[in-house]
Structure formats: structure tokens, C-alpha cells
Structure 1
Amino acid sequence: MTTLTFTPMTEDDFAVFWPTFQAIVAAQETYAIEPSISIEAARQLWLKAPKASVVAKDASGQLLGAYYLKANAAGPGDHVCNCGYMVAPAARGKGVARAMCEHSQQQAHQLGFLAMQYNAVVATNEVAVALWQKLGFSIVGTVPNAFRHAQLGFVDTHVMYKVLPGH
């Protein structure tokens, strides 16, 4: 794995990221996002609404992945954050998701979050489930048939949770 730099996502970064985002949601294998989402709605979801949106780039400046970080709930639940990660197809299997997850936990801690929760990790996304578990997340619940996978039909999702370091 090459050294990654993490910077806040810009509008230009989002334009570069859009094909990755579009391909991932269109595949209907990992994200419960409408496959025909418009670029404007995707920009709002990934770049505008979250507390932080971050890109991971290699030494040459190529965008390898991106993540968002936001409160999982409002008011009395706003101390737990939620993140979403997407890795460019050419960068998969090279440690980008791990690096983004580790970075997002540091960011979340700096922003005052006490824990991180993933609301709907698709159970058939075994690589992600295993990685999140290696990074200290526990499956705290499973929702039967909560995701309509493009190839497999109805599959389960996991709720995964981790208290952030220092809390």
C-alpha cells in the first residue's frame, strides 16, 4: 500500500469520485441508495450533508477512495457517528478501506464522537464485514432480508458498532 493523503472533499474531488459512486450504487450489492440517484442528490448526500467528507489520494494525487462522517442520529443520539466508504475499483484490495476506516475513527474522535455505528452492512459483503471486525467493530444486530441484492435477492444486513478509542 502506498502512502495515502487524506483531505476534505472538494467539489472538484466529487466530480472525480462521481463515476465510482455511480458504479457502486448501480451494482446494488453494498449500498441502499437509489441506483438512479442524480449527481445533485449524490453530492448532497456525500459532500454537503455530512459533518465531514474526505478523500484518500495516492502520492500522485489520484483519488482512490472517499468517506463521509456524520452523526448517526440527532439530539441525544448525536454522540454516535456513522460513516460510509467507497473505494475506486482499481484500488480495491490494496488497504484503502482499512486506511479510510482508521482515519475516519481519528476524525470522529476529534469531532467529539464517542462511538461509530454502521447501520446496514450487507451481510454478503464478507470482505467489508471481516475488515470492520478486524478493526474492532462488533455485529450488534442482524436485520433479516433488509437488502435487495441485485444478484442474490433478499439478504441480511448487520448493524455494527465500536466505541472509539479514548472513550
Structure 2
Amino acid sequence: MQIRPATEDDTYAILDIVAPTLAAGDTYAISADLDDAAVLSYWLGPSHEVFVAEIDGHILGTYYLMANQQGGGAHVANCGYMTAPAARGRGIARAMAEHSLEMARQRGFRAMQFNHVVSTNTLAVALWKKLGFAIVGTLPQAFKHPEHGYVDSYVMFRAL
């Protein structure tokens, strides 16, 4: 597996991963009915440094790295990760997470924080815990899940 910075040539492969994930409406606190331009604007936004994970030339995952806040909070990183549905369970999310931690360190970040980890996204919560993240806050019923209704979201944090 190679994880590398995304290029313009990766746009449609990224869209093929990000659009259906957002449309499912069960993991990201963003509108589920975005058109392709809005999906790409969100994922490839100017504050995001975007990476892709590929095997044999096929992009199977993507993540972005950014400062969680500006000013006095700019030393804490934030990321978003997505894996192609057909590639789940192959270690791609873990590899991207480990890569992002290293990239964050290289860029001078001192910590990483996830602001809104949906509690029903149990695979992500378990992975973040395995990688040293702690739940530092619970946002009661902060996410309206399409299947489970109002569920908690977690703020997860780890020092780098």
C-alpha cells in the first residue's frame, strides 16, 4: 500500500469514496444531500491537505489533515478518513491513521483531536482507542443518525 498526497488526477476516485459515505449520513456531521461539486469542495477544501491510499494503482482510501483550530489552537491537528466500502477490513483506515499521525508530527502539530466521532461508528471508535486516542468529551445526542435517531458523539484526543 502506498499513501501519498492526492493530485488532481485523483479527484474522481476521491469522489467515488467520499460521496457515498457522506450520502449515507451515518458518520459525518455534514449534509447528506450534497452534489458532486459540494462534496469535492468539502473534502478538497483549501485548509485540507489531502492524501490517498492506493494498492496497485487503485485508490482505496483518502484522508485530510488540517489544523483543528486557528490561532492559539493551531498546534492541534484534525483529520477525516474514508475507505472505499469494498476495501473495508483490509487495514487501510489504520494505515491512513498511522500515516496521518506521522504527517501531523512532521508538520509540527503537538496533538490530534477528532471533534465529532459518532458513537455508533464503533469500528472507528475502537481504532482510535487502539491508536492511543481517549474520549475526552461526550456530546449527548449531538448527531441525528438516519437509523438510530439521536446518538452521542465523542471528542477524541491524543498527544503526539
> Which band: TM-score by shorter chain?
over 0.9
> Which residue number corresponds to residue 35 of structure 1?
32
RMSD: 1.0
Aligned-partner residue type, residue 21 of structure 1: V
Distance 1:20 1:127 in 2: 18
TM-score by length of 2: 0.96
Distance 2:117 2:41 in 1: 22
Structure 2 residue 74 is the aligned partner of structure 1 residue 78: yes
- Which segments of structure 1 move beyond 4 Å, counting only runs of 4 or more? none
Unaligned runs of 5+ in 2: none
Unaligned runs of 5+ in 1: none
Aligned-partner residue type, residue 35 of structure 2: S
> Which residue number corresponds to residue 5 of structure 2?
8
TM-score by length of 1: 0.92
> Which residue number corresponds to residue 69 of structure 1?
65
Distance 2:148 2:119 in 1: 11
Deviation at 1:16, TM superposition (A): 1.2
Q: Secondary structure at the match of 1:48?
A: coil
Partner deviation per Cα, 1:100-131 (whole Å, 9 max, x = no partner): 00000000111111000000000011111011
Of 36, 49, 53 in structure 1, the residue corresponding to residue 50 of structure 2 is: 53
Q: For residues 1-150 of structure 1, what are the structure 2 equivalents within 5 Å?
A: 4-58=1-55, 60-150=56-146
Identity within the alignment, %: 51
